[in-house]
A and B are shown apart, each in its own frame.
Chain A
Amino acid sequence: MSIIETKGVYKTYNTTKVPVNAVNGVDLKIEEGEFTAIVGPSGSGKTTLLNMLSGLDLPTRGDIFIENTNLKGLSSSQLIDFRLNNIGFVFQAYNLIPVLTVKENTEFIMFLQKVPKRERQKRVKELLGAVGIGDKMDYKPSQLSGGQQQRVAVARALASRPKYIIADEPTANLDSVSTSELLELMAQMNKKYNTTFIFATHDQRVMDKARRILTIEDGKILKDEQFDR
């Protein structure tokens, strides 16, 4: 069974004079372990689609199933809990909680999940080591570079053992070196933990790493390509 399945998903914004169909009929299946990029020009609906896939936003029409759960059927606080226990996030910016240290940031979601302390510490150690921040556990986010912050964000997302990780332009604020490092890291983690990654990007280097590329334009999926790498 796919971990994500969308059926006839539309998102229409009526906030402007002319209604905008940001997502315009998307049928999509995503399987466990995928490393998938959603690409397309600015305004094509990437963010809108990802927001719906991650339960941050609901479709105007159509259904989104995460395994057996139809996201439409959840109340807003159930939706928060659903995200907590099933979905990892890496955002473009403002990812980390500025007042918490790297270690505390990585622990944060597990704390919300009520993971026991011992287990939390085990995962923090392992993951921060894996993303190469093991020696900066007690730093504050502001003492890290953008690339390092994004690695912590990846570690944090992985620590909560999500079904999949959503990343909306995770490299947009990074220079080219950090970008390829972060990508390398995500690809590694994807292999190591078999965690599904879905990310939106404009970046050619990011696309080059993806094993599946969904090209979207005007809210519709134009191309769905698989690569063997």
Chain B
Amino acid sequence: MAADNRYEEEEVRTDDGSPITKPRPIVRLGIFLVAHSPVFSVVFSAAGVLALLLLPLLAKNTYISENALMPGSARSMLSNRDASDGSKLVKDIKNFRLNHEGQGVEVQRLIGKYMSEMVAEVYYQKFQPEGNQFHPLHFFSGPASYTLLRNVSCASYGVNVVGIIRAPRGDGKESIVLVTPYDFINGGDYEDLSLGVVSSLFSLLSRVTWLSKDIIWLVADSRYGDYRPVAAWLAEYHTPSFKVSDQLKCDELNTADNFRRAGTVAAALVLKVDGRSERFEDILSIYADASNGQMPNLDLINVVNYLAVHRQGFHVKVEKVVSLLSSSWLKIVGEIFEAVGKVAHTLNPDWKFGIPAAEYIEGSATLASSLYSQAFGIPTGPHGAFRDYQVDAITLKISPGFPPDSKARQHDFFLRGSQLLEGTIRSVNNLLEKFHQSFFLYLLTSPSKFISVGVYMIAFALLVASLPMVAASLYVDGCKALTKSTHNSAENFKSWKWLDAAKQVFALHLLGFIVTLLPYFICQVPGQHSPRNRSIMWGTTSSLLLVTFVTIPGCSPFSSRLHGTNWAILKSVTISAAFIGLCLMSIINFATAEIGALLLVPTCLLAQPIKPALRSRRVKSLLGAFCSMVLVTIGFPVIFFAITKGLVGEGLVGLSLGGEFWTWLESLWAWKSATYLYIGMVHLPCWLLCVCILFHPS
């Protein structure tokens, strides 16, 4: 951007006819790029899409970056006795369940008793399940600044059980957290298994001498979701509230005043066991995405993956978009790349970038899922709560390959599961500093392959590179046109012609900001409303606002007839705004920016007034107008949402769409996703401006 606008000004100067010295080569290159911007914008955009498709090929194998971790170098100390401890806990819980139906508190006591038998410090923490709150702007502040003190009802609260083992070699300044989400009222057989695994490990850790970081075992009450109890515990852990909570009054368990802490959390592992796998072997799924596309340090995933694959023989996988696996176009692309790779290999045996088509498809499906969950900005599990406190955490979800009542294999499962956790904890235990060696910004294409930020940014950079070029060339064109049409204004304000257009762009961005904040007020409307009604309310208010804005003279793009604003300048300013917005978003959340750029860049580039195109009746211009109409239609957030739903396989078009969309957005702002801000404050205004350019009365 920087360079380009400079060159464009350079061009203006040449038009004046004043003698200038021969510009430097880089300036001439810039002028060349700007002068041929249509060609280059097509080339760059195509290259951007191609680079995105190439990403699975460019994935590197993961490696352990931090030397101190040394995974798997120590022999496991876990014995059969520890595993049978775990089995005993599971059996006790099952028996207890049979005898006392629906008494959650008693189960918590039972777990607490087991923990204290293993010489752990035990306490219970109460928390309040939180409703959906509208706080999208909290994205910019730290986690501590939104502890809300609200009325507390005794009717519903959850209780976390926490046990702490103090490290014999530590100074109590660091800790490692193990989390097992557990529904105390109606937990299934598989959930019991996760308790069994961790309690086997806990029984070992209470005896070992090598521990230098305290171990915290958090049994999170997952009646109100997995995330909320962990977030509540973390909030209490990091920001103690000195007010006496009302919760203490309504009480069966004595939780007052005994919240214990154990220093900075170095890493956290969430263990979940659910459902039986389709295969015979046990499957370990790794979930790592936290809010707003943040990922834990890659080393943590590497350690777990290494131990699980090479030591314990789990089948490790990460999430993928299943519908992509069977898509035929992806298969064709994969085969083309494979063929190209083979040809390149025959030309020079050192070139090894081709991968088999099947692997490519697998990688793309995983990459798509990785992109999707990062763009969504919603954490994929309770580990997301840790990321808000800069703690690296992942969720390990194990699907055992045996029925829950198979005793023999259960014992073996406990042994292997807790050995995996033991190895990971041992590695983290070795760390002297925070995780910092490896990547924080990456996309996974398989559990052992990743694409780092330096590679995936190229695709985005190519995609948006055309924006400043086109903006500069349009600016020059617009200035020329204005100078021709109005001689008076040409004398004055030679370089301030963009002010009118900037005013209009600003007005629409302001509108976008207001529309973004509207749900806050809609949620305050008294009475129960269905999501559909709320979305209708939102839609009507927004359109009313839009109409008001359009009628205000001066800031409406449609009133430009009076000012004689050129649409080219309006488009140039729009593109600049889109460019700034996309670049900002790419720093906040790359995946959102990438998907947003795929939508917004072609829309912005192709937007042109359709009136002259219709008048000219030439095939080329008609085609252009048609394309831009289609792009603008797809670009509208609601329609894009519907199309994505349709692609994923949940075909729905109709009245329920508004409600679904509302629910989706609600989930976005409830999780403080920056994607919501992006949609409201960058995408929507730019989309509106493109519509304005389409119907520009020129």
Q: A and B: real partners? A: no
Point out residues on B near A: beta carbons under 8 Å.
Answer: none
Point out residues on A near B: beta carbons under 8 Å.
Answer: none
